[in-house]
Amino acid sequence: MAVASDLRSMLKARQEAVDAALQSTLDRYGRDVPRMLAEAIRYSLQAPGKRLRPILVLLACEAAGGSDAQALPAACAVEMVHTYSLIHDDLPAMDDDDLRRGLPTCHTKFGEALAILAGDGLLTLAFQVLAESYPPESAAVSCLDLARGAGIAGMVGGQVLDLAAEGKIDASEQPNSAADLEAIHRMKTGALFNASLRLGVLAAQGEPNSLRCRVISDKLDTYGKAFGLAFQIADDLLDVEGSSEKAGKRVGKDSARGKLTYPRLLGGDDSRQRANRLVQEAVAAVDGLGEAGEYLAALVRYVMERDK
Ligand code: IPE
Ligand code: IPE
Ligand code: MG
Ligand code: MG
Ligand code: MG
């Protein structure tokens, strides 16, 4: 399929568009910010991430008939939330990592206090960008969807369960079953992918409740759920089988820490099988969404093959 072989150039073009939008957003909102705070935020946000979440915003917006120009503010907002989550995930109190996106982690470079505050700043700025970039109704719904995905029943809640499973947070019942693991992955990782897709549709549509908008949103919701879980299984596999040089972050740490992961629970082969079934589900869900749907299908396959 032409689109699949074209995926890499599509990814590169979209990554560049996102990087340029992130840069101009920081230029715009970075005035009157303490210099060291602006520096720490730029350092982490502009480090070479894959920009998968913003690319999902752009593709969802395209599937709903919108343009990149409409999607880019929301794309920047989700990347800001994601980057904040990485800064905090790497802190000594959480996963205690010193390498991220091929560079020293934010707290290694700037100290813990500034890293925590850079994360807080990125999280807050994301909502400011949404509120200032869209008409009131779609801005409000976008803020709601992003808060749900990133918040206490989404990413933050999932991070708590992830740390409880390894014993770093005291819990009355330590998560340890396959159902617990799926819930952790859906919350800590999947919820933000689903929010990204929703924000893309909202960016394209003046009326968030139109029938067309709902049909596309339902398809993308199914896609996002399968994509998010497959993505985190691939991330767990990378930690076991990948290289730190290619991934740009330390590998081999999950089992040393006693994390609850797919390879630990199912082994490598069954984890891959589970992920491959999810890829099929995701691909089926975006059938009928035109060229954007074909790119989404190619993207979820790429997620399983990546080495970073
Ligand atoms: C890493 O996400 C954190 C997880 C949810 C596993 P990515 O693999 O998308 O990281 P970047 O943005 O490309 O650095
Ligand atoms: C992180 O999961 C999920 C987040 C919400 C940041 P991991 O802890 O497995 O991510 P990496 O492997 O450090 O990127
Ligand atoms: Mg973690
Ligand atoms: Mg981590
Ligand atoms: Mg990981």
pLDDT tens sequence for the chain (308 residues): 566 669 999 999 999 999 999 999 999 999 999 999 999 999 999 999 999 999 999 999 999 999 999 999 999 999 999 999 999 999 999 999 999 999 999 999 999 999 999 999 999 999 999 999 999 999 999 999 999 999 999 999 999 999 999 999 999 989 999 999 999 999 999 999 999 999 999 999 756 567 777 889 999 999 999 999 999 999 999 999 999 999 999 999 999 999 999 999 999 999 999 999 999 999 999 999 999 999 999 999 999 999 99
Instruction: Report the alpha-carbon distance of residue 147 to residue 109 in Å, rounded.
Output: 29
Q: Whose CA is nearest to atom 12 of ligand 1?
A: 49
- pLDDT for position 207: 60
Residue 86 Cβ < 6 Å to ligand 2: yes
Which chain residues have CB less than 5 Å from ligand 4, an ion? 89, 95
Ligand 1 site residues, Cβ closer than 6 angstroms: 49-50, 52, 82, 101, 189, 232, 235
pLDDT of residue 67: 96
The residue to mutate among 82, 89, 90, 304, having the most atoms of ligand 1 within 8 angstroms of its beta carbon, is: 82
235 CB under 6 A from ligand 2?
yes
CA 170 – ligand 3 centroid, Å: 16
Q: Look at residue 212 in the predicted model and tell me its pLDDT.
A: 78
Q: How far is the CA of 171 from the centre of ligand 4 (A)?
A: 20
Looking at the DSSP assignment, which residues form a beta bridge with residue 100?
Answer: 103
> Which of 52, 166, 184, 189 for mutating ligand 2's site (highest number of atoms within 8 Å of CB)?
189
Please name the residues in contact with 270: beta carbons below 8 A apart, sequence gap of 6 or more: none
Residue having the nearest C-alpha atom to atom 4 of ligand 1: 189
Q: Return the residue whose CA atom lies nearest to atom 5 of ligand 1.
A: 189
pLDDT at 4: 60
CB 229 within 8 A of CB 182: yes
Angle at 17 between CA 110 and CA 71, to 5 degrees: 100
Q: What is the pTM of this model?
A: 0.97
